[in-house]
């Protein structure tokens, strides 16, 4: 479980193509200082399992399903990534409850700079729009954010200087894909109310849109 508060702006050191999967080597001295084999680290909001660590880097195997469902497949050596270790029990919950299980990908439509912040408009799959509400929480590339405006096919977020400086959202441009994870509590509520009967079809729709 994560909070969506990015600890470090890391970098992809190398990617090894293994056919139906890839092995990523990522540079992140902060998140690897206490990491060991089997631990989890969120990379752009995707929960990955650490294979090994050395010299401030860690490797993780990324399966085909993850490559298809997220924007990790578009990364290359030198790409910057948001990194976060799992939350510790008893610690402060600075963002919101984040699983690191990407629901789909969105696309940055445009960016509107203001005096001290920036408004970013992001297109999202129609199947996810019902989980996105004004003033609600959403995770974008692993960053916990508050929704400013919510529509059927897009939402907007407001980025403060700290977020712009310390995460990849400061360097993403119009047309770039981003990983989206909606609030899991909304999905549980929907399921408990009996409105989740068509979830499987929605997820299949999102997968097709992402490919």
Q: What is the pTM of this model?
A: 0.81
pLDDT at 88: 81
Residues 64 and 118 in one domain: no
Query: How far is residue 23's CA from residue 128's CA, in Å, rounded to a whole number?
Result: 29
pLDDT at 99: 85
pLDDT at 114: 82
Domain of 39, in residue numbers: 8-84
Residue 159 covered by a domain: yes
Residues 125 and 158 in one domain: yes
Residues 57 and 12 in one domain: yes
Residue 202 covered by a domain: no
What are φ and ψ of residue 152, in 5° steps? -65, -30
Count of domains in the chain?
2
Residues 79 and 33 in one domain: yes
pLDDT at 90: 76
CB 185 within 8 A of CB 98: no
Residue 1 covered by a domain: no
Query: How far is residue 168's CA from residue 10's CA, in Å, rounded to a whole number?
Result: 9
pLDDT per residue, tens digit, the chain (211 aa), is 888 899 999 999 999 998 889 999 999 999 999 999 999 999 999 999 999 999 999 999 999 989 988 999 999 999 999 999 998 877 767 777 788 899 999 999 999 988 888 999 999 999 999 999 999 999 999 999 999 999 999 999 999 999 999 999 999 999 999 999 998 888 888 889 986 555 555 555 555 555 5
Residues 109 and 76 in one domain: no
Residue 196 covered by a domain: no
Residues 74 and 45 in one domain: yes
Residues 116 and 167 in one domain: yes
Residue 97 covered by a domain: no
Residues 34 and 68 in one domain: yes
Residue 66 covered by a domain: yes
Residue 121 covered by a domain: yes
Residues 60 and 15 in one domain: yes
Domain final residue pick, 34, 55, 84: 84
Q: How far apart are the first and last CA of the chain?
A: 27
Residues 80 and 109 in one domain: no
Residue 122 covered by a domain: yes
Q: What is the CATH number of the domain that holds 184?
A: 2.40.30.20
pLDDT at 45: 94
């Amino acid at each position: 479980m994560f909070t969506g508060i990015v600890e470090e702006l890391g970098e992809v050191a190398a990617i090894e193509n293994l056919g139906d999967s890839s092995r990523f080597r990522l540079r992140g001295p902060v998140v690897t200082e206490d990491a060991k084999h089997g631990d989890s680290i969120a990379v752009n909001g995707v929960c990955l399992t650490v294979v090994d660590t050395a010299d401030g880097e860690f490797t993780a195997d990324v399966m085909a399903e993850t490559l298809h469902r997220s924007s990790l497949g578009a990364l290359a050596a030198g790409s910057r990534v948001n990194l976060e270790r799992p939350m510790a029990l008893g610690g402060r919950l600075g963002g919101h409850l984040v699983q690191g299980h990407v629901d789909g990908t969105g696309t940055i439509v445009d960016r509107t700079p203001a005096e001290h912040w920036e408004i970013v408009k992001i297109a999202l799959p129609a199947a996810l729009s019902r989980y996105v509400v004004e003033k609600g929480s959403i995770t974008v590339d692993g960053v916990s954010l508050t929704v400013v405006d919510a529509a059927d096919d897009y939402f907007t977020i407001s980025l403060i200087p700290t977020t712009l400086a310390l995460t990849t959202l400061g360097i993403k441009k119009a047309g770039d894909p981003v990983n989206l994870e909606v609030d899991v509590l909304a999905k549980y509520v929907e399921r408990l109310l009996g409105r989740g009967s068509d979830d499987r079809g929605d997820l299949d729709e999102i997968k097709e849109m992402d490919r």
